Amino acid sequence: MGLNAKKPQTSKNHSFWQSLRHAAQGLSFTFQHEGNFKRHLAIATIVIVLSAILQVAKTEWLWLVSVIFIVLIAELWNTVVEYLVDLLVAKQYDTMAKHIKDVSAAIVLVASLLAVIVGLIIFVPYVLQILA
Ligand SMILES: Nc1ncnc2c1ncn2[C@@H]1O[C@H](COP(=O)(O)OP(=O)(O)OP(=O)(O)O)[C@@H](O)[C@H]1O
């Protein structure tokens, strides 16, 4: 490492902007490495465009935005768990590692089911109205 090379940071963030930059790096890392995060974002974009076209009510927007964020938070959390487990067991097969990762994936599944249920409750009446 050269004299002017910056030492990698392992200390606490010193400012709000530094915290924000690292959080943005976390989001960018997840987007680049987790296919499911990309898929969830793509579905969220479709739902937002559809909601704008159908001009859904304010409370419906609140529900939709809430479930979109719940799913994205669950996916971020699942990514944290996967990397922590990999760090601990270094890719060795471990029954407890399997259970931890499976339960973490189940969190995403349950959050996604909630999003599907909310989506059906909101969009089915609009579709029926269009078909009527
Ligand atoms: N070290 C391990 N020991 C035992 N089982 C493991 C281990 N690593 C992964 N697995 C099993 O493989 C599955 C997938 O692993 P992992 O979560 O790392 O991959 P992924 O494709 O990123 O998952 P996801 O689709 O949830 O994002 C886990 O749910 C678990 O059942």
Q: What is the pLDDT of residues 68-119, one digit of tens each?
A: 999 999 999 999 999 999 999 998 999 999 999 999 999 999 999 999 999 9
Q: What is the Å distance from ligand 1's center to 109 Cα?
A: 14
Is residue 41 within 6 Å of ligand 1 at its C-beta?
Answer: no
Distance CA 77, CA 69 (A): 12
Tokens 């969190």 identify what position? 107
Domain boundaries of the chain, sorted by first residue = 30-131
Is residue 76 within 6 Å of ligand 1 at its C-beta?
Answer: no
Is residue 105 within 6 Å of ligand 1 at its C-beta?
Answer: yes
Closest CA to 79 of 24, 31, 115: 31
Q: How confident is the model at residue 8 (pLDDT cuts 50, 70, 90)?
A: confident
Check residue 75 and give its pLDDT: 98
CATH hierarchy code of domain 30-131: 1.10.287.3610
Is residue 60 within 6 Å of ligand 1 at its C-beta?
Answer: no
